[in-house]
């Protein structure tokens, strides 16, 4: 909560003041980064659940006169998304509203809106920041990026690049081959395709070269065709809030129920007066949940 009185913004009372240098404001929702790499959906209740089911493996040979082999369905863990409420309030005195020379000193509604949308982006990015942390796990007891994700019928699979590599054509060729052999819920090879690359902004130049060059950007191979550019359709998404690393990156795949953001209630503003103190209150709140169900939706390079 912030409070604005004439004493806390005294300089804005001066007639000699020419202008105010302050944060830029605008349509903050349109500037948000997380919708570019997360699937954004509405949330119909205060919590929703997803359930993993696997089966039934490979069909078998039926010898003449024998019964048809019986398949098996396996139950996996459920995933729950709980809506959480976030908000901010600014209190402005009547005197401040009357006396401040520049409206941009207050701009309470815009400042609140900016703060909440910034929080949404930071909260979404925590999914990437904590991707390999065992303190933040999914339904299978593993973090988002792990070599030991469990299968309902037994066994494990990985959604980490087998050997961590810096972004390059070679890294994407290896990563794509690994994704082509990704297993489904029953442990059989299904395969998924890379659709987006998410990375810290320090990597933007190399990703532009790797994804945008018609010819191989690898030194000594400039006359070769860049198969990444020709055969893959990967959208680069620099995430400016991913600041705990400059070397990690990830591919977002076309697997269902991947990284998701659920709005229980989009940002909503309220304004009211505290009568006994003649204070104006400006508030904004929102409710959301974010996370993942299917780790196959990402291939992480912990470089």
Whether 141 is covered by a domain: the verdict is yes
In contact, 156 and 150? CB cutoff 8 Å: yes
**What pLDDT, on the 0 to 100 scale, is given for residue 6?**
46
SS3 content of the chain, % helix, strand, coil (to 5): 25, 30, 45
Per-residue pLDDT of 262-297, as tens digits, reads 999 999 988 888 777 677 888 889 999 999 999 999
Greater pLDDT, 65 or 10: 65
Q: Can you spell out the DSSP letters for 170-192?
A: HHHHHHHHHHHT-B-TTSSB---
Partners of 35 in the β-ladder: none
Q: What residues make up the domain containing 128?
A: 83-301
- The percentage of residues in the chain with a pLDDT greater than 90, rounded to a whole number, is 59
Write down the pTM of the prediction.
0.85
Whether 212 is covered by a domain: the verdict is yes
Among 56-65, 85-94, 194-203, the range with the most confident prediction by mean pLDDT is 194-203
Range name among 20-29, 94-103, 206-215 with the lowest pLDDT average:
20-29
**What pLDDT, on the 0 to 100 scale, is given for residue 57?**
81
If phi over 0 gives left and psi between -120 and 50 gives alpha, with beta otherwise, what is residue 154?
left
Count of the separate structural domains present in the chain: 1
Answer whether residue 20 shows pLDDT above 60: no
Distance CA 266, CA 284 (A): 10
Answer whether residue 63 shows pLDDT above 60: yes
Residue in 267, 295, 274, 287 with CA at minimum distance from that of residue 90 = 274
Per-residue pLDDT of 32-52, as tens digits, reads 999 999 999 999 999 999 989
Partners of 271 in the β-ladder: 282
Whether 31 is covered by a domain: the verdict is no
Whether 68 is covered by a domain: the verdict is no
Whether 33 is covered by a domain: the verdict is no
Strand order in the sheet with 279-292: 2-4, 84-93, 279-292, 259-274, 39-42
HEC assignment per residue over 49-112: EEEEEEECCCCCCCCCCCCCCCCCEEEEEEEEEECEEEEEEEEEEHHHHHHCCCHHHCCHHHHH
Whether 246 is covered by a domain: the verdict is yes
Whether 78 is covered by a domain: the verdict is no
Determine phi and psi for 87, rounding to 5 degrees. Answer: -175, 175
Q: Label residue 245 exposed, middle or buried (CB < 10 Å: 0-12, 13-18, 19+).
A: middle
**What pLDDT, on the 0 to 100 scale, is given for residue 3?**
57
Whether 15 is covered by a domain: the verdict is no
Pairing of strands 298-301, 249-253: antiparallel
In contact, 297 and 75? CB cutoff 8 Å: no
Which tokens in the block code for residue 118? 């910034």
């Amino acid at each position: 909560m912030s409070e604005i009185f004439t004493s806390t913004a005294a300089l804005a009372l001066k007639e000699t003041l020419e202008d105010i240098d302050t944060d830029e404001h605008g349509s903050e929702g349109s500037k948000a980064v997380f919708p570019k790499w997360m699937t954004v959906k509405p949330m119909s209740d205060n919590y929703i659940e997803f359930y993993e089911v696997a089966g039934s493996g490979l069909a078998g040979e039926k010898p003449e006169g024998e019964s048809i082999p019986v398949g098996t369905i396996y139950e996996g863990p459920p995933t729950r998304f709980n809506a959480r409420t976030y908000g901010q309030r600014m209190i402005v005195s009547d005197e401040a509203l009357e006396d401040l020379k520049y409206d941009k000193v207050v701009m309470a509604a815009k400042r609140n809106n900016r703060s909440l949308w910034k929080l949404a982006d930071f909260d979404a990015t925590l999914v990437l920041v904590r991707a390999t942390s065992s303190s933040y796990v999914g339904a299978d007891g593993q973090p988002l990026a792990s070599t030991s994700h469990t299968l309902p019928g037994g066994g494990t699979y990985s959604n980490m690049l087998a050997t961590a590599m810096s972004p390059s054509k070679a890294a994407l060729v290896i990563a794509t081959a690994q994704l082509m052999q990704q297993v489904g819920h029953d442990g059989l090879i299904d395969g998924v395709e890379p659709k987006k690359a998410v990375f810290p902004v320090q990597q933007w130049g190399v990703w532009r070269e790797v994804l945008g060059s018609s010819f191989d950007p690898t030194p000594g191979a400039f006359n070769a065709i860049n198969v990444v550019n020709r055969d893959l359709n990967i959208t680069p998404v620099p995430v400016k809030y991913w600041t705990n690393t400059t070397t990690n990156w990830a591919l977002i795949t076309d697997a269902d129920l991947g990284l998701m953001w659920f709005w229980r209630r989009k940002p909503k503003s309220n304004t009211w007066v505290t009568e006994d103190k003649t204070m104006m209150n400006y508030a904004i709140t929102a409710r959301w949940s974010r996370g993942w169900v299917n780790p196959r939706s990402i291939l992480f390079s912990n470089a």
